[in-house]
Chain A
Amino acid sequence: MTVFKAFLKILNRNKGIVIMYTVILLVFGVTNMSTNNSNNLFTASKPSVLIVNEDNGNISKNLVKYFNENSEIKKIANNEEARNDALFYQDVSYIIYIPKNYSSDFLSGKNITLDIKKTDTYNGAYAEMLLNRYLNVANIYQKSVSDENELINKINETLKKEVKVEVTSKLNTGELDKASFYYNFMSYSMLACLIYVICLILQVFNQDKISKRNIISSTNYKKSNRILLLSNFLYSFVLWLFYFIVSMFIVPEVIFSMHGVLYLINSFIFMITCITLSFLLGNLIRNKNAISGVVNVVALGSSFLCGVFVPVNLLPSFVLSVAHIFPTFYYVEGNTLISSLEDFSFINLKPLFMNFIIMIIFCIVFIILTNIVSKKRQKIG
């Protein structure tokens, strides 16, 4: 209790920083969204797709038509090298190979897989989602409808209906973009607040003179340390919860939907990653005056590189490759994936889950490093 009380008092004396970053979030996170013309943003990010069609049937023509409506079809010189180059330079995010006799094989119920090539980008994932949606619908009707024209009509009807339903019910892309923007920006405020407070608390309590006093007291030292750890978690959790509650007011439609649950999970995992990173930094820093510098370098730097302030597709590719070393990158990418989700099948969610796992791996690495660093520290003391 004593330790927790001291924690609260020190936190209270430093609340200015926490308030500052929160205000930044509210000011930028909210105002920026209201000026966003999200529809433009959305059309600008239609994926560019290349279809290599060696089939002449109507089924494959219909697939091409579908992609014509929902993506930007690219024409590239008819050889594999040119296609690979196009992928590499991200002129094309997704390539679909339709083999000979695809239409007739499909009609006869053969299980055909389409070869694809893709970039590891949001657009690539988006195109894949489009393809999966088409194939899911097509496979369902193929089993019951045998007439080619009827089958094509059914597929197209359903796909149209699905889009319509989503537009009216939940896939309000403007709101989703707002939500993504808010949650992306939140990573900056949260990272800054957590690093600042946790590093400060660790600095204060790890001072040799203070820890010596704690060790000779009749309060179990390990217990005190555990309480301190829990206090830091509690603080982080409360801050995260607060940011989440704010988002309920800003984008209520999104938050009270499956998308909201995914934003919640993504940001929660990111928060845990921030805590472990803060503990690592707190054990590395040996000087209270260094904390603000570290906050700036780590929180501001990683947020910038990972596309928190500037959309990822505007960043040069070398910046993006550097960004992969920060957990923020996977968090921001996760938010982008969430905003593009139309249905929540496992296939569509898989890339998001991958990002969750990567963030958790970051946590584990940070915890291991923290243990190594703090052990070294004890030996010096």
Chain B
Amino acid sequence: MKKVIEVNNLTKEYKGVKAVDDLSFDVNEGEILGLLGPNGSGKSTTINSILSLLNYKSGNIKIFGKKMDTNAYDIKSKIGVVFQDVAVFDELTVYENIDYFCGLYITDKNKRKQYVSDALDLVGLKEFTKFRPKQLSGGLLRRLNIACGIAHKPKLIFLDEPTVAVDPQSRNNILDGIKKLRDNGATIVYTTHYMEEVEILCDRVIIIDKGKIIATGTVDELKNLSNIKEKVTVEVLDLSDKYIEEIMSLKNVDSVIYQNNELFVTYKKGKNNIVEMIDYFKNKRINYSKIFVERPTLNDVFLELTGKELRD
């Protein structure tokens, strides 16, 4: 597999405090790599360092096999970046904004027209070309931000939390669009603190916390790191302590929490533990409104590795 980005021992300090601490990882051609970590874990700092927007203390960064620096315009021409903060001109329309940022890379007028139109299609802003950014909802604005970053059809795309504070419809549109970009051959680095997005989207995930990598792998591989193998949730009213203790002693059960009329049971091994749970409730003639089983989430993995939740 070809490596598009190689990061070796990247360290970045702000006034002596390490924001990124000796980070090393590669990004492979054609994959969506997720950088997953809570707010302040160093995701944006990592991206900005890779792009040479920040001076980092130490480390080695290669993109497309060449050393990245501020004057590497041949590398820059193949990169698209969507920053965490929406970066568009309030004075220009949706179309003019995309045209401007695309124009920084694509000088051919006709080609650019086609590219801008493609970008509008991708993010679903065709009907809003004459709107000003101030007239767009938060979700549409984020989509515009993305269109501006990817209109020039870059081979490598960085997206820094592009879905923060976005309505579900826009979020789905954005995630679909990103998949399309990958299917068209782009390599994508995607940062987020939403584990659900990573599960839907990413081929590979790097979990970072306090500027350090704490785990790397596919979503499945990461979930296998977890001690928990299954989670069963039961919605049941007024369960007495007696039953809870009995459930504790059922086969394979690891932990039991009952709160707000919801029972959370985790298992360290076994499959189909839910069957036993259903039997138990049947035998005891307890009525429940809902019961379901889940695999562990990345949040569980994160919780086990760091002792805290991904989201605060």
Contact = CB atoms under 8 A, between A and B. Distances in A.
B76 A216 contact: yes
B85 A209 contact: yes
Interface in A252-287: none
Interface in B185-217: none
A113 interface: no
A217 B87 CA distance: 13
Interface in A5-22: 5-6, 9-10, 13-14
Given A1-B107, A218-B76, A213 B101 contact: yes
B53 A214 contact: no
Contacts of B148: 213
Given A1-B103, A219-B104, A13 B51 contact: no
Interface in B38-88: 51, 53, 70, 73-74, 76-77, 79, 81, 83, 85-87
Contacts of A210: 87, 89
A216 B81 contact: yes
B77 A218 contact: yes
B199 to A, nearest CB: 29
A2 interface: yes
Nearest to B92: A9
B91 A10 contact: yes
B310 to A, nearest CB: 27
A212 interface: yes
B103 A220 contact: no
Contacts of A207: 87
Interface in A167-220: 204, 207, 209-210, 212-220
A13 B76 contact: no
A209 B105 contact: no
A2 B104 contact: yes
A204 B90 CA distance: 8
A210 B79 CA distance: 16
B112 to A, nearest CB: 9
Contact of A204 (B74, B81, B83, B89): B89
B89 A217 contact: no
Query: How large, as a class, is the contact surface on chain B?
Result: 20 to 34
Contact of A216 (B79, B91, B103): B79
A344 B105 CA distance: 55
Interface residues of A, number: 22
B53 A215 contact: yes
B105 A218 contact: yes
Interface string A241-256: 0000000000000000
Contacts of A10: 89, 91-92
A216 B154 CA distance: 13
Nearest to B154: A218
A217 B71 CA distance: 10
B161 interface: no
Contact of B89 (A6, A212, A220): A6
A215 B89 CA distance: 15
Nearest to A214: B104
Nearest to B77: A218
A10 B73 CA distance: 27
B264 interface: no
B86 A217 contact: no
A219 B77 CA distance: 8
Nearest to B100: A6
A213 B81 contact: yes
A232 B91 CA distance: 17
Contact of A212 (B53, B73, B99): B53
A216 B51 contact: yes
B153 to A, nearest CB: 13
Contacts of A13: 91
B83 to A, nearest CB: 6
B104 A217 contact: yes
A270 B76 CA distance: 42
A226 to B, nearest CB: 15
Nearest to B81: A216
16 contacts: A2-B103, A6-B89, A10-B92, A207-B87, A209-B87, A210-B89, A213-B83, A213-B87, A214-B104, A216-B76, A216-B79, A217-B104, A217-B105, A218-B74, A218-B76, A219-B104
Interface of B: 51, 53, 70, 73-74, 76-77, 79, 81, 83, 85-87, 89-92, 96, 99-101, 103-105, 107, 148
**A-B interface, 5 closest residue pairs, ranked by CB to CB distance from nearest:** A2-B103, A218-B77, A209-B87, A217-B104, A218-B76
